[in-house]
Structure 1
């Protein structure tokens, strides 16, 4: 299993390159987004494009690729009318990543699966009724089990920001026995105060950091957050978590069901942020929504510059 080798590398202080966006890259390449499940159902009819995205990231140096499973739990897919195809959609996403690794001739690449605690994605209309916390927890466990059975080798907990749901989705990930990386998301409040990404209330980021387990996960860090605040978030995470740190920001903004690629950070500018994060202890770098192959190339350049300066 390639993850065992990658974990040894992290333990020895190596830097690992994560891929860039998957969902927004599907949109950028012309795939329609679902009005209730965003990119969640795209894996069904866009296998070729999805595998090409993964292969393109591998070609420029990504060592971990992430299956298109962020928005594919039963509670989300049911709102789009795909509740009876949960297993099919999740398997299709993982298989597209596995196929890309095989075609690329890169058996050392790790295939990760994204697992979120999203229960709905349309910001302007909550489902009626809202899924209960029990239904959500059941859906997280179901999806995590499907991802493992489909061949995922790592669970990426993405956009951890909801105090009540983080423990449930973490439990679901850990129950698989797969390695887990924990990615929290943050925003900046008044006076630069660090807050959870949750936008229905001002939740201090410290409340989410308390939910990062001291053991049982292999990496933790900041993702789907602005590059400008990611360094400060990493500094706070380091006070609690002593393992490898990860950083993969987003850029642009989301208006359901599409990402808006406005003012996306230039790869050269992001390279400078990557260097700062590496110099301050980050070991896993890549990109989230809005970021592309060119940004992953910037991560590779930053890694090389950092290593050459040592």
Structure 2
């Protein structure tokens, strides 16, 4: 049964920006809106807040060389990250109630591609993101992570100041799984042990099919209980079909699953809550209408 107060997260920014008419094309993806349609970013954040989100995530996921190119990253990354943090802060501060801003720290060398991780370059990519976001965010969220080593590298480069550090892994969701695993093949048990050693405040699972998340929550909770640590557990699944091992996250707009409309998604969120998750939101394809239904019913 749940033993921590429920916190509602936001949903997927990319499709919400596109729905609002913001520029949205490859390879820049959602980063385009930071310079070409910043007000749409604020509006998207505000829509999730109005729906009930208590934590919103900065639109900095695509501010990496993989999306905006190395030359533009070298020239503009810190300013783009600053803008992403500033826009999220603006929306949060305009809310009638308290809303926290999570600084999105994405996979540094390509989503779903743990094989591309370059530990020697991690600090170089992280530095402008951290410097740009730091003045505006309340916590750090390393999301859609596939590899324990990358999470450890991100943690090692976090600035001083003691802001909470949340980590979210994306899970293998194609085919039958013997045990829940991240996209690197590492088990959720190994991931839970690793983040506990880092002293994280929360472990989440995102950008995966809802069907694989329940088992991951069970494993994480069992590991934390065995270790005697109190770490919040959360989930924000996507509404996409299963993603194969060679898929590239944000490589295009997949068709959404029809069964993951707001009532359908709510049923999964209720199950995660029963298993002990206390941080619930949505990833790709989960909009304000999903978050509103979740916030109203799961409470």
TM bucket normalised to smaller: 0.7 to 0.9
Partner SS, residue 144 of structure 2: strand
State the Cα distance separating 1:298 from its structure 2 match: 2.2
Unaligned runs of 5+ in 1: 1-11, 305-310
Q: Contact (CA 8 Å) 2:170, 2:182: kept in 1 or not?
A: yes
1: CA distance, partners of 2:126 / 2:270:
35
Q: Does 1:148 align with 2:148?
A: no
Of 4, 12, 30, which aligns to 2:21?
Answer: 30
Q: What does residue 30 of structure 2 align with?
A: 39
Call closer, same or farther: CA 1:135–1:37 in 2, change over 3 Å. Answer: farther
State the Cα distance separating 1:57 from its structure 2 match: 1.0
Q: What does residue 244 of structure 1 align with?
A: 232
Q: Does 1:187 align with 2:172?
A: yes
Q: Does 1:94 align with 2:70?
A: no
2: CA distance, partners of 1:116 / 1:255:
11
Alignment of 1:129-208 (within 5 A): 132-149=118-135, 151-173=136-158, 175=160, 177-188=162-173, 190-194=175-179, 196-198=181-183, 202-208=185-191
Q: Please report the TM-score for the alignment, with normalisation by the length of structure 1.
A: 0.81
2: CA distance, partners of 1:63 / 1:155:
15
Call closer, same or farther: CA 1:122–1:87 in 2, change over 3 Å. Answer: same
Alignment of 1:88-127 (within 5 A): 88-106=79-97, 108-120=98-110
Alignment of 1:197-276 (within 5 A): 197-198=182-183, 202-214=185-197, 216-241=199-224, 242-252=230-240, 256-264=250-258, 265-276=260-271
Partner SS, residue 30 of structure 1: coil
Alignment of 1:268-307 (within 5 A): 268-304=263-299
Call closer, same or farther: CA 1:255–1:216 in 2, change over 3 Å. Answer: closer
State the Cα distance separating 1:118 from its structure 2 match: 3.0
* Alignment length (residue pairs): 285
Let me know the Cα RMSD of the aligned residues: 2.8
